[in-house]
Amino acid sequence: MAEELNPFKIAQEQLDQAAQIMKLDRQAHAILREPKRQLTVTLPVKMRDGTTKTFTGFRVQYNDARGPAKGGIRFHPAETIDTVKALAAWMTWKCSLANIPFGGGKGGVICDPKKFNDVEMENLSRAYMRGIASIVGTNQDVPAPDVYTTPQIMAWMMDEYSRIVGHNDFGMITGKPVEIWGSEGRKDSTAMGGMFVMREAAKALKIDLKKAKIAVQGFGNAGMYAYTLSKSMFGSKVVAISDSAGGVYDPDGLDMKKLEEAKAKTGSVQGYQSKNAKKVSNEQLLELPVDILIPAAIENQVKKDNADRVKAKLLLELANGPVTPDATNILFEKGVVDLPDFLVNSGGVIGSYFEWTQNVSGYYWDTPRFDAELDKIITQSFRDTMATQKGYADKKQKISPRMAAYVIAVDRVARAMKARGWY
């Protein structure tokens, strides 16, 4: 990975910009530039052929001044400690912006889960939990699913942790199946939160969502739900979507059933067929003539060399880190409203907060209550962000929505550290 796209360097650069804007205390700034704790573990895993392979795993606890660390676990062949550190930092700001009682954490294992069968996946999941068990728990660090991890994997990890501590501890991990006290509403909460943000942003920008054209980069959980929810909730037209192989664009709108059939038959949504459909690359999708662009795949997609070609009025970062700092500045100068990941995709961690709350209290909610509480919290986060941006504008200092969100989040964490006597 090129130095300028090192995800942790990007996270630090974003913090540095916010610190300068808000005149953050130097001591607080120094503490917040680095993770509080990082653990690297070697995981011996028995494979289907009887051999034992070793894998490297990470768990980073970035800051816990406001509560237990919180963050997902990724199984990915290109996982790095810098990626995990960056995501843990962003989780810190995400939880703070949402004003929920968590700090930030993240975990990952360098592996290719596509090559594992179910037994190997379970063996790896349990090995990882044994490796990190000493630093996680309901009141210490609460993991969750992320890239290539699932509710089933969370169930295995919860079971392994419960064996280690000698009692059931359902609240030590979130994103679990509902059979073992996962939360109704959690499955689509990342995209649902994004839709609530899209609704509020559309009001502010006077975008008619019934007439809006939307492009979604990513056909995973977040991207698929962004497609279905934007249509079912607002009647919007999704005209482009992509997966890792590429995408498809149809100005008349896409049909989910045909997309799923194309994916199943050809391995990619590029197999989609209709009268006006045409294949596009992931790069081309970002530059399509649409009202709303939703990057819902991986980091560093909108960069310095393509940001000026983004035609959307509103960019919703449903993925983690899809827009680089240079691109953020270009989009801002261009007038594109780029709403940051740790606002837009915070529905996932807010949903995890609800699951954790229910596990701790032993009192469980239905989906309508879950969605209503999510709407309340994430809508307030959006309004706080816009109000902070306007507050700086009124003082003749123009800042992007990302920097406004950073100022709020960093200030809350710094205040918590100050109150605790950390500096």
**Which residues in 3-27 are b (16+ Cβ under 10 Å) and which e?**
eeebbbebbbebbebbbebbebeee
For 254-323, list the strands marked E by DSSP: 278-280, 292-295, 314-316
* Cβ–Cβ < 8 Å for 318, 335: no
List beta partners, residue 206: none
The one catalytic residue in 70, 85, 94, 106 is 106
Task: Give the Cα separation of 66 and 144 in Å (integer).
Answer: 18
Q: Which amino acid is at 418?
A: K
* Cβ–Cβ < 8 Å for 84, 58: yes
Phi, psi of 396 (to 5 degrees): 65, 30
Q: How many residues are given for the chain?
A: 423
CA dihedral of 361, 366, 367, 368, whole degrees rounded to 10: -110
Task: Give the Cα separation of 227 and 102 in Å (integer).
Answer: 29
For 131-271, list the strands marked E by DSSP: 141-145, 213-217, 237-243, 246-249
Task: Give the Cα separation of 413 and 96 in Å (integer).
Answer: 7
Tokens (6 digits) for 187: 């499955």
322 contact partners, CB below 8 Å, separation of at least 6: 217, 295, 297, 298, 299, 300, 301, 302, 341
Q: What is the distance, to the nearest Å, from the Cα of residue 376 to the centroid of all Cα atoms in its chain?
A: 19
Task: Give the Cα separation of 58 and 39 in Å (integer).
Answer: 6
Task: Reply yes or no on whether 257 is catalytic.
Answer: no
Task: Give the Cα separation of 367 and 363 in Å (integer).
Answer: 14
List beta partners, residue 71: 143
Tokens (6 digits) for 93: 């700001």
Phi, psi of 176 (to 5 degrees): -80, 165
Alpha helices in 133-220 (DSSP H): 151-165, 189-205
Q: Which amino acid is at 279?
A: K
* Active-site amino acid positions: 106
